[in-house]
Amino acid sequence: MTRFLLAIAIVLGGSFPTGVGAIGPGEALKDTRLEARARDIGRQLRCLVCQNQSIDDSDAPLAQDLRRLVRKRLVAGDTNRQVIAYIHARYGDFVLLRPPVDSRTWLLWFGPAAVLLLALILMAVRIRRRRMQAEDRPALSEEEIKQADALLDKMGPGT
């Protein structure tokens, strides 16, 4: 029981975000408003090494470089949009955690829904075919039912 409770504590303890991210003490800006903006931008940009984390959460050296670049651009006076546009121009759509919806990213945005819809259609067709096949099977006559019962009686219980 204690192992079970310990496992639950570990799972639950690891599932709550701490909000710390991977920002090192030397990276943070002294201006708290600029730092908050940098963190916000960092949560919108994908780590190109980890691919499933934002640069704000990643410990990868490239993510650290991108965080420094974001802060450098903010200190230089860029707006959030300008910083994101600058990094987007250098690294493409993949660096954005929410890429734009356009002809190049339709598969990314609508592909999962299309696959789900196709699976539902195939499942409905399969169910309909099974029902039609069941309806096409001829019902057993009274004589056939008696023969089946006799065979089952001969085999005995539990077989």
- CA 55 – CA 44 distance, rounded (Å): 8
Helices (H), 16-137: 32-42, 61-75, 80-91, 106-136
- CA 59 – CA 24 distance, rounded (Å): 9
In a 13 Å sphere around the CA of 112, the CA atoms on its Cβ side amount to: 2
- pLDDT band per the 50, 70, 90 thresholds, residue 18: very low
Q: Percent of the chain, pLDDT > 70?
A: 82
108 sits in the region (left: phi over 0; alpha: psi -120 to 50; else beta) called alpha
pTM for this one? 0.56
> Does residue 130 have a pLDDT over 80?
yes
pLDDT of residue 6: 57
Q: What is the mean pLDDT of the chain?
A: 84
Give mean pLDDT, residues 50-74: 91
Residues 116-129 pLDDT 10s? 999 999 999 999 99
- pLDDT band per the 50, 70, 90 thresholds, residue 17: very low
pLDDT of residue 14: 53
Q: Which has more confidence, 159 or 109?
A: 109
- pLDDT band per the 50, 70, 90 thresholds, residue 31: confident
> Does residue 115 have a pLDDT over 90?
yes
Residues 88-99 pLDDT 10s? 999 988 899 888
